[in-house]
Amino acid sequence: MSDMETSEKIQGSGILQLFASLLIPQSSCTAKVANVIAEVAKNEFMRIPCVDAGLISPLVQLLNSKDQEVLLQTGRALGNICYDSHEGRSAVDQAGGAQIVIDHLRSLCSITDPANEKLLTVFCGMLMNYSNENDSLQAQLINMGVIPTLVKLLGIHCQNAALTEMCLVAFGNLAELESSKEQFASTNIAEELVKLFKKQIEHDKREMIFEVLAPLAENDAIKLQLVEAGLVECLLEIVQQKVDSDKEDDIAELKTASDLMVLLLLGDESMQKLFEGGKGNVFQRVLSWIPSNNHQLQLAGALAIANFARNDGNCIHMVDNGIVEKLMDLLDRHVEDGNVTVQHAALSALRNLAIPVVNKAKMLSAGVTEAVLKFLKSEMPPVQFKLLGTLRMLIDAQAEAAEQLGKNVKLVERLVEWCEAKDHAGVMGESNRLLSALIRHSKSKDVIKTIVQSGGIKHLVTMATSEHVIMQNEALVALALIAALELGTAEKDLENAKLVQILHRLLADERSAPEIKYNSMVLICALMGSESLYKEVQDLAFLDVVSKLRSHENKSVAQQASLTEQRLTVDS
């Protein structure tokens, strides 16, 4: 007879109801009955019948027994009934089973004989089956203080493989919940996990620990604890051992270790601690990943540099110590093979490094723009996005570089094309911002002519209606420069793009920011040099809108309104 047939027979016989009456603390056969229930409940279609037969309440009562065998079999029975069973969990929850089990874990925590460790393992397993993938029950266990108890268990019983494994599974489940991170951070989990990690030789065991470390390391406090507990040294060692292996397990472990390394660098404190003024062993080792032949390490190395490059001091130090050349060499190796993740990471690092003012000229003379422009032909939006951001950072207040790039027809035409990338808002926004930046930082007639010829004007006008004030402003300032320097060349495009109507809208709209109103009026004055545009200004009754702004609470806006009003009146 199969298990399934047996279970069906049991269900039909009414014996489950009989079991309920046999589960009494004093009886000598209680442990045996609980054991039978545990075996029966291994079959998923028997779990609801066990609940319906009223077995949960007497089983939970038995958790108060002093008899170790009764506790063991009861824990097994409840754990199996809860496995993947909503009804089982609900019933145990209502009977208050979880709290009793946690109390047992606490009081039995320090006893290390094998029988007790077996019981602790069963109880941990029961709590896992009870709460697995159920946020509200996991939160309940966390509120009952299960985390410090489990961490203590792990510390005391690290010699016991089964119990250790159970604790790790539990941590893995609980660590998914945001609310658990605070609790974990107040224990010495980092130290215990690193200690355990150093002892493991088998790939599977290390992988289990990795699965707990990754979600925990999302918390900044725990990142720092892991760094202080020496996790980084373990990770660097794994990388060194596995870098030349082509075994699947080793490749996977190399990826996990290097990814975790990058994650640890996302915390400000942990990152700064590992940077050690750029002298640190860790920083030097990560640096050596960039020229390696392993794509995963190149990627992790570039991402790590991007993470180190999160404050000016670090950026300046790294640029002075030759990081730019290493990143450019790395990019060069990926122009042809088009490894998108490596391209994206290296460009991210360069973009961050270009933020401090003192780095811009150094990076420009190192040839970063030329290196970056090789990726203009890329069809991958993440690469396009970072490429644009890097160029925009580099030309900030660098007139010569801005002029050189702004006269590069290939670049400007590609920007105009990307300004229409409706599916990729990020690329579209960055292209617009770079177009505007080329004009604002170069203040060059030639750049404006190139942009007009490539059809860029309409995009700058559209940008003036962006939902982001900073982008609106950049557009208006660029348009004012166009009107001041090359109005004749741009006149037709400005008309076709309905610039004057848009300015009227911006000035009439109460929600427009003060700087938007100010720059719109500056632009109106600049447009008066064109007959056709000036006629549009007159037709739209700008005077009404502008004179209202004379009493604006912002002084600059009010002043500009008076000036603009005078210009409009004098010339009408």
Write out the DSSP string of 484-523. HHHHHHHHHHHHHTTHHHHHHHHHH-TTS-HHHHHHHHHH
Lowest mean pLDDT among 115-124, 304-313, 419-428: 419-428
- 303 pLDDT exceeds 80? yes
Say what the pLDDT of residue 49 is: 86
Calculate mean pLDDT across residues 271-286: 87
Amino acid at 10: I
Flag whether pLDDT at 55 surpasses 80. Answer: yes
Q: Burial level of 375, CB count in 10 A (0-12/13-18/19+)? A: buried
For 453-501, how does the pLDDT look when each residue is reduced to its tens digit (9 = 90+)? 999 999 999 999 999 999 999 999 999 999 999 999 999 999 999 999 9
d(CA 468, CA 282): 40
Contact (CB, 8 A) for 70 and 62: yes
- Would you state the pLDDT for residue 3? 64
> How confident is the model at residue 342, as a pLDDT?
94
CA distances (Å), origin 443, targets 400, 477, 481: 10, 11, 7
Q: How confident is the model at residue 538 (pLDDT cuts 50, 70, 90)?
A: confident
- Decide if 102 contacts 131 (C-beta within 8 A): no
The rounded distance, in Å, linking the Cα atoms of 294 and 443 is 44
- Angle of the 178-185 helix axis to the 146-156 helix axis, nearest 10: 50
In this prediction, residues 199-204 reach a mean pLDDT of 83
Dist. CA 45–CA 48, nearest whole Å = 7
- What is the spatial distance between Cα 84 and Cα 140, in angstroms, rounded to a whole number? 18
d(CA 463, CA 514): 17
pLDDT value of residue 540:
86
Mean pLDDT of 316-332: 94
Task: Identify the pLDDT of residue 11.
Answer: 65
What sign results for the dihedral spanned by CA atoms 90, 94, 99, 101? negative
- The pLDDT value recorded for residue 199 is 87
Distance CA 89, CA 436 (A): 60
Segment 386-421, tens digit of pLDDT: 999 999 999 999 999 999 999 999 999 999 999 988
Average pLDDT rounded to a whole number, residues 298-313: 94
Write out 458-477 in H/E/C secondary structure.
HHHHHHCCCCCHHHHHHHHH
Cα distance between residue 482 and residue 394, in whole Å? 22
Query: What's the sign of the alpha-carbon dihedral 525, 527, 530, 533?
Result: negative
Distances (CA, A) of 52 to 320, 362, 536: 73, 76, 81
Q: How many CA atoms lie within 13 A of 188 on its CB side?
A: 10
**Tokens at residue 503, please?**
């300015």
According to the 3-state scheme, what is the secondary structure of 357-379? HHHHHHHHHCCHHHHHHCCCCCC
Give me the pLDDT at residue 13, please.
67
pLDDT of 325 strictly over 80: yes
Report residue 70 as tokens.
Answer: 């009764």
Helix, strand and coil content of the chain, in percent to the nearest 5, comes to 75, 0, 25
Q: Evaluate if residue 521 carries a pLDDT over 70.
A: yes
Query: In the prediction, which pLDDT does 33 show?
Result: 87
Which of 272-281, 369-378, 554-563 is predicted least confidently? 272-281
- Whether 572 shows a pLDDT value over 70: the answer reads no
Between CA 95 and CA 75 the distance in angstroms is: 14
Between CA 146 and CA 150 the distance in angstroms is 6
Type of residue found at 399: A
**Is pLDDT at 1 greater than 70 in this prediction?**
no
Quote the CA–CA distance of 95 and 92 in Å, as a whole number: 5
Q: Integer distance in angstroms from the first to the last C-alpha of the chain?
A: 103
pLDDT the model gives residue 457: 95
pLDDT value at position 12?
67
Q: Which residues contact 274 (CB under 8 A, 6 or more apart)?
A: 227, 232, 264, 265, 280, 282, 283
List, for residues 123-141, the tens digit of each pLDDT value.
Answer: 999 999 999 888 899 999 9
Residue 568: pLDDT band by 50, 70, 90 thresholds?
confident
Q: Where does the pLDDT of residue 44 fall: very low under 50, low under 70, confident under 90, or very high at 90 and above?
A: confident
Count of beta carbons in the 10 Å neighbourhood of residue 170: 24
Separation between Cα atoms, residue 535 and residue 340, nearest integer Å: 51
Q: Is 250 exposed, middle or buried, given 0-12, 13-18 or 19+ CB atoms closer than 10 A?
A: middle
Nearest-Å Rg of the Cα atoms of the chain is 34
Mean pLDDT of 292-305: 93
Give the whole-number percent of the chain exceeding pLDDT 90: 67
Categorize the per-residue pLDDT at 200 as very low, low, confident or very high, splitting at 50, 70 and 90.
Answer: confident
pLDDT in tens, 57-99: 999 999 999 999 999 999 999 999 999 999 999 999 999 999 9
| Residue 434: per-residue pLDDT | 96
pLDDT confidence tier of residue 276, bands split at 50, 70 and 90: confident
Looking at residue 451, what is its pLDDT?
A: 96
Structure tokens at 143: 């509120």
pTM of the model: 0.82
Rounded-to-integer distance, Cα 300 and Cα 260, Å: 9
